[in-house]
Structure 1
Amino acid sequence: MELFLTWAAPRRSKAAQRVQTKTKHLRTLHRATSLIGLLKSTVPLQGELLLATQLELVTPTTLAGTLYGVAFTLFCLYVHSLVSQLQDEDRKRRAKFMLGYTVVIMLCGLYNLVANAWAIQEAYIKHGDYPGGPYLYLLSSFHTGVIAIMIVCQMAVDILTSTIQIWRVWVIWSSTRYAKLVIVLPSLCFLVFAALYLKTIILVTTLSAVENSRLGTKTQLVQQAIQVVITILCTMLISLYLVYQHLWQRKLLGEANGSAGYLKIVAMLIESYALESMWTLMRAILYPRPVSAAFIEGSTYIQIIAYLLVQYRVASGNAYESQRGQRTVSSLRWNHSNHATTTQVANLEINETDGGPHMSESTKREGSEALPVISMA
């Protein structure tokens, strides 16, 4: 028995040594594999990929949050300016509609902000070791439901803000015989824009990042260009009508009489939509370079800010210079309950013997104190 134990002991020790050796080899292999993976994941990004990764971390969070904060401040000011209209029975229904319209836009912008924050957390924290970096993970995650809803919300903001611009053109020109003709081109641009946007959503949510970059680049460029055209075209059409009314009133009442309110409205529209037009234009010019990420992520909030600037300035009465007296030589009403635009001249005396219009001195004095009145909220 002792002899057998003496003979078996070396064999057990050799078997144990083999097991230990294999275990050490496995551990060494595992450490080497982990080290290789760590080296791969920690290889520094370079060039455009590095720039895109950095911008994608900052723009959807810091930049987007700042812009939405500005938009929310304007929204609060706009709601405060609507209090008097909500208490007025004649304007209550109109004010409620515009408030609900604005709330929908703000909610879409808020979801866009929250979804972007969630996507950044998923990419940079939970999948920071993704091959190619967090930016490539973001490109591969467009098929998720959260991102798809975010794209739909972005489309909703674009559609709603563009719709109200075209609606303003219709309201301004509806008292003239050229209303239907003027509205044709903006409406066609809007329909093409909506169709291209739907195509973009389908490409982004169904194709891979490489295929989408190959097939969808031209579509997105045309879409962004048409969006700029809609904004500029609507602003120009409204401004053209208001400048014409300004010149007509100045000729009718004289240079000393006030019609500068029209020009102030034009200035207000240009100020509000100049930033949006320039932002969208830069987005189209720089696309698809990595630096365009800043303009892409901020475009939704810039559109909301431009929309709220007009809404707030009109609702608070800052879109025109004076409201002294109830007697107005001309009244320009947006969102009127009966008809959109009314241009009327009060106390106009026609002297048929002279063959032209003349105004009494009292009417001229009233005209000098009267300026266009706008009601959009």
Structure 2
Amino acid sequence: MSESMALFQNAFYVGNNFNAIIYGMQLMVYFMTVRVMQSRKHKHAPSDKFFLLFTTIILLLNTVFVATEAVFGEEMWVVNADYEGGMDAYLFDFASVWYQTFGTAASIVLNLLSDGLLIYRCWVVWDDLRVIVFPAIVYLASFSLGIAQLYESGRPHSNYFAGLAKNLGIGYTSCIIGLEVLVTSLIASRIAFVGKQFGRSMGPNNVGGAYTSAAAIIVESMLLSTLTGIAYIVTFALGHQLEIFFLSIYVMMTCFAPQLVVLRVLSGRAWTRDKSSMFGQDSKLEFTGRSTTRIDHEESEKEKGSHVMTSSVSNSSSVKVEDV
């Protein structure tokens, strides 16, 4: 093995092993999602079928990526172990083989679908179209760069990690990850602000904690995808040989993170536009179910910040709040 490519080859091998581990986690989350859909207690919403279809499509796209990376590794390290020039020569000569291009295309489409969901969830959390105008423009720009990178990296004897393909890749990846950082920050800050405000209003009886907890922030903002994306773009832009490892992890997280969002939505624990409107300046907080809890925020003439809470109880002496 060439000494200059030793770290890259090892990072590629380790990345493939992590792909297999994370893919198993994705399958588990997917079957949990299907189980929730089939549960008799599940209250079906018109969007449920869309979310199930969405999570199925991104899982299939990620399956293509995992399979093509595994096949290319096998061809390079096992089947063609005696290739003239060794593994580095094989990598250089066949980096743009058709199934590798197919896997790259699947990862780009997966990334775009994931970020599309992220922008949609940002709109849901903020309940304001103005917030997502700029992210939507950046999203369209990243789509164009992604197509250009795919074309260039798929040309004969081209390489995803070298030449014009790499320059286009840096532009595309910087654009898409910058978008993720922006939208993730918007979602996380909104949930954190609402959680703090709501916690002050409710005190220890914070029935909305499930929607403003640390777990809610991590899942709703797809923080796992954004953080791994930052690690990838840094190594990719610097040309560090660990770039292939962080690319693998990032692609896997662009599937795993939205899967968690979909599971949370179908389980009735995710933010909806109704929940977002609860925290408007003049809106009321309501959790509907077998009984209803309502909080009206008003300012009295004598003292600002006073809160009046009314609760309706159905066949019970205690208020029972169910997730919508």
8 Å contact from structure 2 (residues 55, 262) kept in 1: no
Secondary structure of the residue that 1:216 maps to in structure 2?
A: helix
Give the structure 2 partner of residue 21 of structure 1.
none
8 Å contact from structure 2 (residues 36, 42) kept in 1: no
Give the structure 2 partner of residue 48 of structure 1.
4
Give the structure 2 partner of residue 263 of structure 1.
212
Give the structure 2 partner of residue 223 of structure 1.
172
TM-score normalised by length of structure 1: 0.69
Alpha-carbon separation, structure 2, partners of 1:351 and 1:74: 45
- Higher helix proportion, which one? 1
* Unaligned 5+ runs, structure 1: 1-44, 320-331
Aligned-residue offset at 1:240: 3.0
Task: Return the letter of the residue paired with 1:224.
Answer: T
Q: Deviations over 1:316-343 (max 9, x none)?
A: 3566xxxxxxxxxxxx525xxxx78542
Count residues with an aligned counterpart. 304
Secondary structure of the residue that 1:129 maps to in structure 2?
A: coil
Asked if residue 71 in structure 1 is aligned to residue 10 in structure 2, the reply is no
Aligned-residue offset at 1:371: 7.2
Task: Return the letter of the residue paired with 1:333.
Answer: T
Asked if residue 333 in structure 1 is aligned to residue 272 in structure 2, the reply is yes
Alpha-carbon separation, structure 1, partners of 2:256 and 2:82: 37
Give the structure 2 partner of residue 82 of structure 1.
37
Aligned-residue offset at 1:101: 0.7
Aligned-residue offset at 1:68: 0.8
8 Å contact from structure 1 (residues 52, 135) kept in 2: no
Alpha-carbon separation, structure 1, partners of 2:139 and 2:159: 29
Larger Rg: 1
1:1-377 matched pairs, under 5 angstroms: 45-60=1-16, 62-84=17-39, 88=43, 90-91=44-45, 93-174=46-127, 179-206=128-155, 208-209=157-158, 213-249=162-198, 253=201, 255=203, 257-258=205-206, 259-264=208-213, 267-270=215-218, 273-287=222-236, 288-316=239-267, 332-333=271-272, 341-343=276-278, 344-345=283-284, 346=294, 348=296, 360=308, 362-363=310-311, 373=323
Structure-2 change in CA distance of 1:314 and 1:95 (3 Å): closer
Aligned-residue offset at 1:355: 9.4
The RMSD of aligned alpha carbons is 3.5
Structure-2 change in CA distance of 1:198 and 1:246 (3 Å): same
Q: Deviations over 1:43-77 (max 9, x none)?
A: xx2322233233334433x2211111111112112
Alpha-carbon separation, structure 2, partners of 1:369 and 1:229: 44
8 Å contact from structure 2 (residues 299, 305) kept in 1: yes
Task: Return the letter of the residue paired with 1:81.
Answer: V
Structure-2 change in CA distance of 1:47 and 1:372 (3 Å): farther
8 Å contact from structure 2 (residues 194, 212) kept in 1: no
Aligned-residue offset at 1:204: 0.4
Structure-2 change in CA distance of 1:94 and 1:317 (3 Å): closer
* Unaligned 5+ runs, structure 2: 285-293
Aligned-residue offset at 1:98: 0.7
Percentage of pairs with the same residue: 17
8 Å contact from structure 1 (residues 203, 212) kept in 2: no
Structure-2 change in CA distance of 1:290 and 1:363 (3 Å): same
Aligned-residue offset at 1:208: 3.0
